[in-house]
Amino acid sequence: MKKVLVIGYVWPEPNSSAAGSHMMSILRQFTQQNWQVEFTTPSQPTEHMIDLASEGISSQSITLNCDSFDRYIAEYQPDIVLFDRFMMEEQFGWRVEKNCPNALKILDTEDLQCLRHARHQAHKAGRTMTQADLFSDIAKREIAAILRCDISLIISSFEMDLLIDTFKVDSRLLHHLPFMVDLDKLPTRTRHFNERQHFMTIGNFRHAPNWDVVLYLQHIWPLIRKQLPKAELHIYGSYPPPKATALHNPKTGFLIKGWAENAFTVMEESRLCLAPIRFGAGIKGKLLDAMIMQTPSVTTSLGSEGMHEQETWPGTVADDINEFVDAAVNLYNNEQEWNKAQQNAVTLLHSRYDSHALSTLLMTRILEVEQGLEQHRLHNFTGSMLKHHTMMSTKYMSQWIAAKNTQSE
Q: Say whether both 329 and 373 belong to one domain.
A: no
Does residue 130 lie within any of the structural domains?
yes
225 has pLDDT over 70: yes
For residue 227, being part of any structural domain is answered with yes
Torsion over CA: 25, 114, 384, 398 (sign): negative
- Are 118 and 133 within 8 A, CB to CB? yes
Q: Domain range for residue 7?
A: 3-180+355-408
Task: Judge whether residue 188 has pLDDT over 90.
Answer: no
Domain endpoint, select from 352, 370, 391: 352
Task: Give the domain-ending residue among 308, 330, 352.
Answer: 352
Per-residue pLDDT band for 261 (boundaries 50, 70, 90) equals confident
Q: What angle do CA 83, 48, 261 make, to 5 degrees?
A: 125
- Global pTM reads 0.92
Q: Indicate if 292 and 168 belong to the same structural domain.
A: no
Q: What is the CATH number of the domain that holds 215?
A: 3.40.50.2000
Percent of the chain predicted with pLDDT > 90:
89
**Whether residue 55 sits in one domain with residue 16:** yes
| 38 domain-assigned | yes
Please report whether residue 188 resides in a domain: no
Same domain, residue pair 279 and 315: yes
The number of helices, as runs of H, and strands, as runs of E, in the chain is 18, 13
pLDDT number for residue 67: 92
Q: Indicate the range of 161-165, 190-194, 232-236, 398-402 predicted with least confidence.
A: 398-402
Strand partners, 80: 4, 104
Q: Are 12 and 149 within one domain?
A: yes
Helix axes 113-124, 208-227, angle to 10 degrees: 50
Statement to judge: residues 29 and 169 lie in one domain? yes
One domain for residues 17 and 164: yes
Residues 119 and 253 in one domain: no
Structural contact between residues 19 and 110, judged by C-beta atoms closer than 8 angstroms: yes
Pairwise pLDDT comparison (403 vs 252), residue with the higher score: 252
Of 352, 383, 399, the domain-final residue: 352
Give 403's pLDDT tier (boundaries 50, 70, 90): confident
CA angle 41, 20, 149 (to 5 degrees): 60
The answer to whether the CB of 405 falls within 8 A of the CB of 66 is yes
Please, which pLDDT band fits residue 391 given cuts at 50, 70 and 90?
low
- Does residue 215 share a domain with residue 117? no
Number of domains in the chain: 2
What's the whole-number mean pLDDT along residues 319-343? 97
Distance CA(359)–CA(362), nearest Å, equals: 5
pLDDT given for residue 401 in this prediction: 85
pLDDT at 356 over 90: yes
Average pLDDT, the chain: 95
Residue 264 in any domain: the answer is yes
How many beta carbons lie within 10 A of that of residue 345, not counting itself? Answer: 26
pLDDT at 400 exceeding the cut of 90: no
> Is the Cβ–Cβ distance between 262 and 238 less than 8 Å?
no
- The verdict on residue 189 lying in a domain is no
For residues 285 and 201, give the distance between their C-alpha atoms in angstroms, rounded to a whole number: 11
- Asked if residue 271 and residue 151 are part of one domain, the reply reads no
Q: Judge if 8 and 130 occupy the same domain.
A: yes
Under DSSP, the state recorded for 43 is S
Q: Cα–Cα distance between 125 and 317 in angstroms, integer? A: 24
pLDDT in tens, 130-179: 999 999 999 999 999 999 999 999 999 999 999 999 999 999 999 999 99
Cβ–Cβ under 8 Å, residues 50 and 23: no
Q: Please indicate, yes or no, whether residues 333 and 380 belong to a single structural domain of this protein.
A: no
Task: Give pLDDT, residue 406.
Answer: 80
Tally of CB atoms within 10 A around 390: 6
- Residue 321: inside a domain, yes or no? yes
Enter the DSSP assignment of 273: E
* DSSP code, position 163: I
Please calculate the CA angle 100-399-82 and round it to the nearest 5 degrees: 35
Residue 227 has pLDDT above 80, yes or no: yes
Task: Among 7-21, 221-235, 274-288, 370-384, name the one with the lowest average pLDDT.
Answer: 7-21
Q: Alpha-carbon distance 323 to 6, whole Å?
A: 44
Query: Is residue 224 in some structural domain?
Result: yes
Q: Which residues pair with 58 in a beta bridge?
A: 38
Q: For 57-110, how does the pLDDT look when each residue is reduced to its tens digit (9 = 90+)?
A: 999 999 999 999 999 999 999 999 999 999 999 999 999 999 999 999 999 999
Summarised one tens digit per residue, pLDDT across range 338-348 is 999 999 999 99
